[in-house]
Structure 1
Amino acid sequence: MSFISQPLSLSGAYNVRDLGGYPADEDKTTKCKSFLRADSLANLSADDRKFLYDYGVRLVIDLRAETETQRNPDAIDHQAMEYVNFPLLDNIQSSFLQGKMPSDMSEMYIRLIENSKTTFAAVLRKLAECEGCALYHCTAGKDRTGIITMLLLKLVGVSDDVIIADYSVTEEYMQPVFVQQKKMVQAAGIEVPDFVFQSKPTFMQKLMDYMKEHYKTVEKYLLQAGLNETVIEQLKHKLV
């Protein structure tokens, strides 16, 4: 894996990365400045907001639960870019690390894929409509954001190895935040397994294996979730 997307130069976020630059089907390469995956935008500075606007961001999709958005609202310029909240309830960050924990992250990913089809379809429909660059994010930019990223990249034939590399590097970029989160939950006396703060390759591999076994392709999954061929083609065109 020679190339992995690097975080954009922002002072208030650690894991805002472009989906551009990856090899896709038909010897194509994913386009830059179409989609950004991101962690929390609650601490963006004025310079960060200008940077994102100048980068072309015109849509921000927040994948967090309403309780998360209220506690840490996005610090974006609502006049300059559209903001939409499509909550994906992971029952980990969405319940502030106090929900029932899965056996590993892939269990939660599969549960989301099965139980939130309508929401995934709504997110991707909105991404397809966006005229400029679209940014989508959750809290760490790892789990809910990771699933959306997998769906987009698989749609245009990016290899599993590349998708896994793009997913697993989040643990490295988010290390300073995860260290603080661990301290906070320990101080509160909450038991949280280490894997919650990890992005192991096996977590994403298990999800993709499940998708292949149950749906054959991401495209078939999305059609079943409620997207039509036109929207799927729009997404592909935006990305390659």
Structure 2
Amino acid sequence: MTVIDTSPELDLSPPANLRDLGGIAVDGGTVRPGFAIRADDLSLTDPASAQQLVAEGLTTIIDLRSGDEVAVTGRGPFGSLPVTYHHVPLLTSIGHATQAVAGGSMTIDQSQFESLYIRLVEGSAAHIVTALGVLAYSPGTVAFHCAAGQDRTGVLAASLLLALGADPEAIVADYVATGRNSAAVMARTRQVVGPLIARYGLDLDEAAQQAARAEFSPAPMRGMLAHLTESYADPLQPLREAGLTDGLVQRLRERAAG
């Protein structure tokens, strides 16, 4: 697939849901700042913000979006900066996935995303392991993102933190930190996500209004983690069956510890 620079019709802005995983408690200590950052759509980043991230040590981007999303935006300003790019899609279509979560409804309810997260960690385990390999062996800071930096990004962040030995509640706390950014994220990404999910009869405007009325729920991530704990002797088993080795886990822990 050809990866283009951002379409000139798109509005570019600083990421609204970017945060460093540094400081999260894991086995043996805490994640060091500058190891990994999670974000909403980095292809929509304005040039000044992109250059600042590179100046601060960003060397690598893992793009978890589907091919139809990437076809709209490309890499954005990062396409002309010294950043290694990996496209590791966790979904084949954002529209199909959101339609499955919504069921017969015309709107999307974040609190009901548990089944999507379980499907991602089990069905896209090989892609998650690929992303973990990039995190383990890339120099400098690695950023990973989807559209909102919530669902696909949240599942990869949870997988990484599980491999590092984080407590489930620390993983949930990292996940729910997205809640305070939800309105800004929707405003920023609607120009790409809105038209794509509208093809499937879903309304992003109604979803935004619903999100504004409701508290961001920890239930989907807590439910996914409970499922992994209850269904497998090792919650990392789906990833281990897809190629996650003890050596890769050790390398991640060394990188995260600095």
Q: What TM-score, normalized by structure 2, do the two folds share?
A: 0.78
Alignment-derived partner of residue 147 in structure 1: 155
Q: Distance in 1 between matches of 2:187 and 2:50?
A: 26
2:76 matched to 1:59? no
Cα 1:77–1:179 change in 2 (3 A) is: closer
Which of residues 76, 88, 91 is equivalent to 2:90? 88
Alignment-derived partner of residue 14 in structure 1: 16
Equivalent residues in 2 for 1:174-185 (5 A)?
A: 174-178=182-186, 181=190
**Contact 1:62/1:137 (CA < 8 Å) preserved in 2?**
yes
2:57 matched to 1:40? no
Alignment-derived partner of residue 133 in structure 1: 141
**Contact 1:15/1:141 (CA < 8 Å) preserved in 2?**
yes
Alignment-derived partner of residue 238 in structure 1: 255
**Contact 1:65/1:87 (CA < 8 Å) preserved in 2?**
yes
Q: Report the identity percentage.
A: 28
Gaps of 5+ in 2: 1-11, 104-111
Paired residues, what number?
A: 228
Is the deviation greater in 51-60 or in 96-105?
A: 96-105
Deviation at 1:174, TM superposition (A): 2.7
Deviation at 1:171, TM superposition (A): 2.2
Q: Distance in 2 between matches of 1:96 and 1:49?
A: 31
**Contact 1:19/1:37 (CA < 8 Å) preserved in 2?**
yes
Alignment-derived partner of residue 7 in structure 1: none
**Contact 1:25/1:157 (CA < 8 Å) preserved in 2?**
yes
Q: Distance in 2 between matches of 1:95 and 1:190?
A: 8
Equivalent residues in 2 for 1:69-84 (5 A)?
A: 69-75=70-76, 76-84=78-86
1:1-58: CA deviation from partner (whole Å, max 9, x where unpaired): xxxxxxxxx94210111010112223x1111101011100122122112211112111
Q: Distance in 2 between matches of 1:201 and 1:64?
A: 22
Deviation at 1:109, TM superposition (A): 0.5
RMSD over aligned CA atoms reads 2.9
Deviation at 1:101, TM superposition (A): 2.6
**Contact 1:90/1:144 (CA < 8 Å) preserved in 2?**
no
Alignment-derived partner of residue 101 in structure 1: 101
Equivalent residues in 2 for 1:178-217 (5 A)?
A: 178=186, 181=190, 190-191=202-203, 194=207, 199-217=216-234
1:131-185: CA deviation from partner (whole Å, max 9, x where unpaired): 1111110000000000111111122222222211110121211312325749x57
